[in-house]
Amino acid sequence: MGKKIMRFKRELVLILAIVFTYASTSLFLLPYNNAVKAVAYYYGSRGNMVIQIQQKLRSWGYYNGSVDGVYGYQTYTAVKYFQSKNGLKSDGIVGDATLAALAINTGSNTGGNSQNVTLIARLINGEARGEPYEGQVAVGAVILNRTRDPRFPSTVAGVIYQPGAFTAVVDGQIHSNMQQSSINAARDALNGWDPSGGAIYYFNPSTATSSWIWSRPLIKIIGKHRFCR
């Protein structure tokens, strides 16, 4: 009986030692595992991802240097400007948050396309219910056109919730009962249909209170909305 108890104690001690070793090793390695998972690009980085970063910044007007895959001073300052414009930490380091804002998919961030459909659909629903379907898609296209313009935030959420940008956000119409046409229009806009002709502004002349909006060059009229540059 005594031998069995002694054997049990030895086995218990061995099990506890193994558990302790595993736990302590995991804790020791955790910072290194996280460091491997955290992807960042910064001054001195090189490669295809830097090329993508430069291409995005250049196409959106933040960068006018060479697309050479070398993260030099011009890329660094362009990244800082982009970050400051879009409410990100302006440190010149392109991590997950900045990659997501640039709509660059590394595999660790997916871009939240389904969320964008919902956000754009709610804005369309609040701003353009009852408008021709083409006009609803055009409102969605304006949101996306703004994300590509350096004068505006580069994310769908940033554009929609920019203070004072859309009446539907201010008066709560963005939370109105959703119509299927608004969802369909959001999807069509995200799939590349732009009936607005590249507009970044639109307004209803019968309800507009800003005299400045009338100064914007007109592209086209769809339903009750004037779409402008």
pLDDT, one tens digit per residue, over 65-92 is: 999 999 999 999 999 998 887 777 899 9
What pLDDT, on the 0 to 100 scale, is given for residue 34? 37
What pLDDT, on the 0 to 100 scale, is given for residue 22? 41
Phi, psi of 49 (to 5 degrees): -65, -35
Those residues whose C-beta lies under 8 Å from the C-beta of residue 20, and which sit 6 or more positions away, are: none
Please tell us whether the domain made up of 48-101 is placed in CATH 1.10.10.60.
Answer: no
Type of residue found at 132: P
pTM for the model stands at 0.54
What pLDDT, on the 0 to 100 scale, is given for residue 10? 67
* Fold topology of 113-228: Arc Repressor Mutant, subunit A (1.10.10)
Quote the tokens at residue 197: 């002709």
What pLDDT, on the 0 to 100 scale, is given for residue 23? 45
Q: Where are the domains of the chain?
A: 1-37, 48-101, 113-228
pLDDT tens by residue, 32-70: 333 333 468 999 999 989 998 999 898 878 899 999 999
Low-confidence ranges of the chain (pLDDT < 50): 17-38, 108-111
